Amino acid sequence: MKLVSTIADLQAGLSQVRAEGKSVGLVPTMGALHEGHASLVRRSVEENDVTVVSVFLNPTQFNDKNDLAKYPRTLEADCALLEACGATFVFAPSVEEIYPEPDTRHFSYPPTDSVMEGAFRPGHFNGVCQIVSKLFMMTNPDRAYFGEKDFQQIAVIRRMVEDLGFPLEIVPCPVIREEGGLAMSSRNTLLTPEEREIANHIYQTLKESKVWAEKCSVQAVHDKVVETIDRVPELNVQYFSIVDGKSLADVASWDESDDIVGCITVFCGSQPIRLIDHIRYKG
Ligand code: PAF
């Protein structure tokens, strides 16, 4: 495995690979890697000759600078995990390498990027599109791997790929969960052990809501999920939206679409830490 920090070094390595006609998989990350990331890397290693993993804490997607400051940074441990998973290149550039000039490009794919996370984190998906489009241009991968934990992010990136005509396949990979059901996230390390236990209620409630959905209306399921989670003193729902799985527009009835997903964001604990998750009702 080779660790590179400049675009020139990455592209020199990849031009050799391309000359040999080999396929390239890209796994974009912000570091603080866990088993969820490892599953993406292993999948890319299985499906491509060469796997590039980018480790870049992208400042343009953080609307809250405090959130950026708190984000765990663990490059050494990340490289050990990536080596064990079989990655070929780790691309860990500086902010100046990626943004020698401020990125003034503006991406807009409503409603995918304007609802839910887009509404509560203004500018977040614009920053995601800025970095992901740059990584696609620098790497020119055959396939790019993203975790379904960030369900909305995949919908936005798919729209960007269609819009800009990137010749690559987006490969969504299943959520990896901790034993109690909490979706794995780099932010989980910021929770105390007690909070981590309590946070399991989020997925347990979402799973239970699939049973409620067999008998109750969309609105009733929505309200019951919010009430059940908010009843736990350390948890506070920011939003729960039941949406069409592709457009991400709200649905009012279960017959409205054959692909229906419930997306939730919950604040957990005293700091508090923002946790996201989702459940598929149909599709
Ligand atoms: O999902 C993430 O970790 C980030 O949003 C991504 C795709 C690596 C872009 O910075």
Percent of the chain with pLDDT over 90: 99
Among protein residues, the one whose CA lies closest to atom 5 of ligand 1 = 128
Q: What is the mean pLDDT of residues 74-103?
A: 98
Q: What is the mean pLDDT of residues 174-189?
A: 96
Report domain extents, the chain: 2-173, 186-282
State the CATH architecture for 186-282.
Answer: 2-Layer Sandwich (3.30)
Among 136, 153, 161, name the best residue to mutate to test ligand 1's pocket (greatest count of ligand atoms within 8 A of Cβ): 153
- Give the per-residue pLDDT at 91: 98
Among 58, 73, 125, 134, name the best residue to mutate to test ligand 1's pocket (greatest count of ligand atoms within 8 A of Cβ): 58
- Give the per-residue pLDDT at 174: 97
Query: Any residues with CB less than 8 A from the CB of 19 and at least 6 apart, and which?
Result: none
The CATH class for the domain spanning 2-173 reads alpha beta
Distance in angstroms (rounded) separating the CA atoms of residues 156 and 161: 9
81, exposed or middle or buried, with CB in 10 Å at 0-12, 13-18, 19+?
middle
- Residue 178 beta carbon below 6 angstroms from any ligand 1 atom: no
Phi-psi region at 216: left, alpha or beta (left = phi > 0; alpha = psi -120 to 50): beta
Atom of ligand 1 nearest to the CA of 61: 10
- Give the per-residue pLDDT at 221: 98
Atom of ligand 1 nearest to the CA of 56: 10
> Cis (ω within 30 of 0) for the bond into 111?
yes
Measured in Å, residue 229 CA sits from the centre of ligand 1 at 27
Among 26, 27, 30, 139, name the best residue to mutate to test ligand 1's pocket (greatest count of ligand atoms within 8 A of Cβ): 30
**Contact (CB, 8 A) for 131 and 222:** no
- Give the per-residue pLDDT at 62: 96
Measured in Å, residue 181 CA sits from the centre of ligand 1 at 22
- Give the per-residue pLDDT at 95: 98
pLDDT band at 262 (very low <50, low <70, confident <90, very high): very high
| Catalytic-residue membership of 201 | no
Each residue of 12-36: pLDDT tens digit? 999 999 999 999 999 999 999 999 9
pLDDT band at 47 (very low <50, low <70, confident <90, very high): very high
Which tokens sit at 241?
């939206």
- Give the per-residue pLDDT at 242: 98
Each residue of 117-134: pLDDT tens digit? 999 999 999 999 999 999
* pTM (two decimals): 0.96
